């Protein structure tokens, strides 16, 4: 009930501040519709012309929210379901609008970095929050834009472009102030971390380098973790017509996996996940009409799961995977419309103790056109043609459109298709007696229709969307009874109706203002099984209701953010989580205090893993970037 009162207070504050007009004598906050160029959109259109349901988390929000990782940050995005098994972003699945953790694509500056073994590892990436300009969540089937596996949407991490030389440092320490009663050391549960970074900017190139170490003794027995990350970005601009970007990073996470996958028998399990990536992309303006954008991305992942952490001679799984993605994209501006075209290739390989040695290749070609009519109607139409060495040819058409009534109102419509190719785990896993794969699986296929509207007036923004999605050959892990292993089958149809809305309001002056946000997502999934008597592993885990509310108040060097999240899933109890961040800035220094799960709510996001209770963190940052 306390959490409900917090949300009501936030709503009351929103209505109250909506009626205010600012402080006399001080410059009010100016409303700006920023022309953000979305890097991962093939047509490279400014955001005010985009015809999709896109959620942005900008760098200002990243600074305000009480989070320390990308995983935690995404839990505040409308319609994104974050399901953590470990504390503080240790191991996290994410899904969009009721899909599974395998039905979306993760991008870094528009390049695919999803893990081919399993979606469990996709968010094990080395990008620190300080290197991020914004995160874009594109919702709905998006094969026309991003190829296969973008069945429910795409998350794109966009990194900063540094403007000056500088240094960054961050150190923090935290605790629940509860003692470890199951272990033999009796210490307070705690965590700590240090992050260092720097930028170098010259006339024709700029560089970013970040490194971090985070660790803690967990939140209960055998949940201790150690995370190490390093990330580099270089931009090279030899002249005004050519630009090259190089990204490289490495992340290694080691954590106790008590209850992660096979509770209660896995109380002594441990997992180590190590990821390396290298991305190279460039942009070449050949003339005023023609642009070429080649890119190549490589991801290596090592996953070492130890069912008995103190006995590595049995029940140990090791997976080595490689993924290479190459793209060549082109844009041509005609007198009639803007055209985009290109192709991509992705090669995936795995060597595993219980999946085996396998590889597959995927090839795609696409073409699309964007045209404005009457200065009000914007249409984007195209198709993606895909060839997979295991499944053959598929075609994915799609259309996006928007109509601008005036400077405040815009209507949006889109219809799209997509396919999700089974992962190596789906196809070949042999983990008897627990789980076994199915090499006869077919790809999942989906289509979705969505419509909605957007309203902007000064500091107030509102949007609402409704959609219907139909997935055929839905892959679900099922079994007849508890005596046989789980195995995936194309045994279901998944039909989802959904609605989401978001409100944002900013009021005040440049040095004293309120920044308010409220979003709601409703999902109504209907799973049609061929045999209802079978036990499903994933089909009933979708969100049903989600509410995210944030209130930020900034007064000169002081700011505080109250964030409240409500989740209700079909198969889990509902829960409210309330977090708080308090900041004080003194020139380049920043002192912050985070209080997470203030009301000490007991809740589970995945499997049988209880999430951390009340937790406090105190940190100090030096930001000279």
pLDDT for res 625: 83
Q: In angstroms, rounded to a whole number, what is the distance separating the alpha carbons of residues 384 and 361?
A: 16
* CA distances from residue 573 to 43, 84, 398, 566, 567 in whole angstroms, order as listed: 43, 16, 37, 11, 9
**With 0-12 CB in 10 A as exposed, 13-18 as middle and 19+ as buried, what is 616?**
middle
Q: In angstroms, rounded to a whole number, what is the distance separating the alpha carbons of residues 247 and 113?
A: 12
Q: What Rg do the C-alpha atoms of the chain give, in angstroms? A: 24
pLDDT for res 605: 85
| pTM (two decimals) | 0.90
Phi/psi-derived region of residue 550, left when phi > 0, alpha when psi is between -120 and 50, beta in every other case:
beta
The average pLDDT across 164-191 equals 85
Taken in order 510, 511, 513, 515, the sign of the CA dihedral is positive
Nearest to 491 by CA among 480, 513, 475: 475
Enter the tokens of residue 312. Answer: 């590595």
Q: In angstroms, rounded to a whole number, what is the distance separating the alpha carbons of residues 445 and 201?
A: 46
DSSP tag of 97: T
Nearest to 137 by CA among 155, 150, 152, 149: 155
pLDDT for res 99: 87
pLDDT for res 185: 60
**Cβ within 8 Å of residue 150, ≥6 positions away:** 104, 105, 141, 142, 143, 418
Q: Which helix (H) or strand (E) holds 12?
A: helix 2-18
Q: In angstroms, rounded to a whole number, what is the distance separating the alpha carbons of residues 319 and 326?
A: 23
Q: List, for residues 365-375, the tens digit of each pLDDT value.
A: 999 999 999 88
Output 101 or 549, whichever has higher pLDDT: 549
Least confident among 34-43, 256-265, 301-310: 34-43
Q: Please state the separation of Cα 247 from the chain's center in Å.
A: 19
Q: List, for residues 427-448, the tens digit of each pLDDT value.
A: 999 888 778 999 999 999 999 9
The average pLDDT across 9-34 equals 42
Enter the tokens of residue 103. Answer: 């039905």
Q: Are 165 and 95 in contact (CB under 8 A)?
A: no
DSSP secondary structure, 141-174, as one string? --HHHH-TT-SSEEEEEEE----S-EEEEEEEEE
Nearest to 144 by CA among 418, 449, 445: 418
Enter the tokens of residue 74. Answer: 């995404």
Residue 543: Cβ within 10 Å count: 23
Q: Is the pLDDT of residue 575 over 50?
A: yes
Q: Are 195 and 170 in contact (CB under 8 A)?
A: yes
Residues of the chain with pLDDT > 90, as a percent, come to 62
Q: Are 83 and 605 in contact (CB under 8 A)?
A: yes
Q: In angstroms, rounded to a whole number, what is the distance separating the alpha carbons of residues 64 and 60?
A: 6
β-strand partners of 305: 271, 317
Q: Which fold, 2-21+38-623?
A: Maltoporin; Chain A (2.40.170)
Q: Is the pLDDT of residue 4 over 50?
A: no
Q: Is the pLDDT of residue 65 over 50?
A: yes
Q: List, for residues 29-40, the tens digit of each pLDDT value.
A: 444 434 444 444
Q: Is the pLDDT of residue 5 over 80?
A: no
* CA distances from residue 321 to 168, 352, 359, 437, 585 in whole angstroms, order as listed: 33, 8, 9, 17, 44
* CA distances from residue 46 to 109, 461, 474, 605 in whole angstroms, order as listed: 16, 18, 35, 36
At residue 216's C-alpha, the angle toward residues 569 and 624, to 5°, is 95
Q: Is the pLDDT of residue 264 over 60?
A: yes
pLDDT for res 601: 94
pLDDT for res 23: 39
pLDDT band at 142 (very low <50, low <70, confident <90, very high): confident
The average pLDDT across 492-500 equals 91
Q: List, for residues 514-526, the tens digit of each pLDDT value.
A: 999 999 999 998 8
Residue 218: Cβ within 10 Å count: 23
The average pLDDT across 441-461 equals 94
Where do runs of H (alpha helix) occur along 407-553? 424-428
Output 399 or 6, whichever has higher pLDDT: 399
Q: In angstroms, rounded to a whole number, what is the distance separating the alpha carbons of residues 322 and 275?
A: 10
Residues found in the chain: 625
Q: Are 231 and 210 in contact (CB under 8 A)?
A: yes
Q: Please state the separation of Cα 66 from the chain's center in Å.
A: 17
Q: What are phi and psi of 73, to 5 degrees?
A: -60, -40
Q: Please state the separation of Cα 34 from the chain's center in Å.
A: 22
pLDDT band at 117 (very low <50, low <70, confident <90, very high): confident
The average pLDDT across 281-303 equals 94
Residue 524: Cβ within 10 Å count: 14
pLDDT band at 48 (very low <50, low <70, confident <90, very high): very low
Q: Are 361 and 387 in contact (CB under 8 A)?
A: no
Residues of the chain with pLDDT > 70, as a percent, come to 90
β-strand partners of 552: 515, 561
Q: In angstroms, rounded to a whole number, what is the distance separating the alpha carbons of residues 527 and 436?
A: 22
| Domain map (residue ranges) of the chain | 2-21+38-623
Return mean pLDDT, the chain: 87
pLDDT for res 540: 64
Q: Is the pLDDT of residue 52 over 80?
A: yes
Output 266 or 35, whichever has higher pLDDT: 266
**With 0-12 CB in 10 A as exposed, 13-18 as middle and 19+ as buried, what is 593?**
middle
Q: Is the pLDDT of residue 607 over 50?
A: yes
């Amino acid at each position: 009930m306390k959490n409900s009162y917090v949300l009501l207070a936030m709503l009351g504050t929103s209505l109250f501040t909506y009626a205010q007009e600012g402080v006399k004598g001080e410059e009010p906050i100016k409303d700006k519709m920023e022309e953000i160029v979305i890097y991962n959109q093939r047509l490279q259109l400014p955001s005010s012309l985009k015809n999709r349901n896109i959620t942005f988390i900008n760098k200002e929000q990243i600074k305000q929210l009480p989070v320390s990782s990308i995983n935690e940050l995404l839990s505040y995005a409308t319609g994104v379901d974050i399901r953590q098994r470990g504390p503080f972003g240790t191991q996290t699945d994410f899904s969009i609008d009721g899909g599974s953790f395998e039905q979306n694509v993760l991008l870094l500056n528009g390049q695919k970095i999803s893990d081919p073994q399993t979606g469990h590892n996709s968010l094990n990436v080395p990008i620190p929050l300080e290197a991020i300009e914004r995160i874009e969540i594109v919702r709905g089937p998006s094969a026309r834009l991003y190829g296969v596996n973008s069945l429910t949407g795409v998350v794109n991490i966009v990194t900063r472009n540094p403007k000056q030389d500088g240094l960054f440092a961050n150190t923090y320490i935290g605790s629940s102030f509860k003692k470890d009663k199951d272990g033999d050391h009796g210490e307070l549960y705690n965590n700590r971390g240090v992050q260092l970074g720097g930028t170098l900017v010259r006339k024709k190139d700029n560089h970013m380098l970040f490194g971090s170490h985070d660790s803690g003794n967990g939140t209960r027995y055998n949940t201790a973790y150690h995370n190490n990350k390093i990330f580099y970005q270089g931009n090279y601009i030899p002249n005004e017509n050519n630009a090259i970007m190089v990204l490289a990073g490495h992340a290694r996470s080691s954590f106790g996996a008590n209850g992660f996958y096979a509770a209660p028998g896995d109380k002594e399990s441990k997992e180590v996940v190590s990821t390396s990536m290298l991305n190279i992309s460039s942009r070449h303006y050949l003339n005023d009409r023609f642009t070429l954008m080649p890119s190549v991305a490589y991801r290596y992942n090592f996953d070492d799961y130890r069912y008995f952490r103190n006995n590595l001679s049995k029940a140990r799984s090791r997976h080595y995977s490689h993924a290479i993605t190459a793209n060549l994209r082109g844009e041509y501006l005609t007198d009639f419309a803007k055209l985009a075209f290109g192709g991509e290739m992705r090669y995936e390989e795995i060597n595993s103790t219980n999946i085996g040695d396998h590889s597959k290749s995927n090839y795609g070609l696409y073409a699309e056109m964007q045209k404005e009519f009457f200065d009000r109607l914007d249409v984007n139409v195209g198709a993606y043609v895909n060839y997979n060495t295991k499944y053959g040819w598929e075609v994915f058409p799609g259309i996006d459109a928007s109509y601008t009534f005036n400077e405040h109102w815009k209507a949006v419509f889109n219809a799209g298709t997509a396919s999700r190719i089974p992962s190596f785990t789906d196809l070949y896993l042999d983990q008897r007696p627990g789980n076994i794969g199915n090499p006869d699986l077919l790809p999942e296929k989906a289509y979705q229709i969505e419509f909605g509207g957007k309203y902007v007036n000064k500091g107030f923004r509102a949007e609402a969307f409704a959609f219907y999605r139909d997935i055929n050959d839905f892959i679900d892990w099922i079994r007849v009874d508890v005596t046989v292993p789980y195995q995936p089958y194309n045994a279901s149809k998944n039909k989802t109706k959904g609605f989401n809305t978001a409100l944002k309001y900013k009021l005040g002056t440049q040095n004293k203002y309120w920044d308010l946000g409220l979003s709601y997502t409703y999902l109504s999934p209907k799973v049609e099984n061929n045999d209802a008597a079978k036990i499903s592993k994933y089909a009933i885990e979708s969100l049903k209701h989600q509410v995210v509310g944030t209130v930020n108040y900034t007064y000169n060097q002081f700011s505080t953010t109250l964030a409240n999240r409500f989740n209700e899933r079909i198969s889990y109890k509902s829960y409210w989580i309330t977090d708080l961040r308090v900041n004080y800035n003194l020139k380049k220094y920043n002192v912050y205090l985070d209080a997470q799960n203030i009301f000490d709510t007991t809740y589970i996001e995945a499997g049988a893993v209880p999430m951390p209770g009340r937790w406090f963190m105190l940190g100090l940052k030096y930001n000279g970037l």
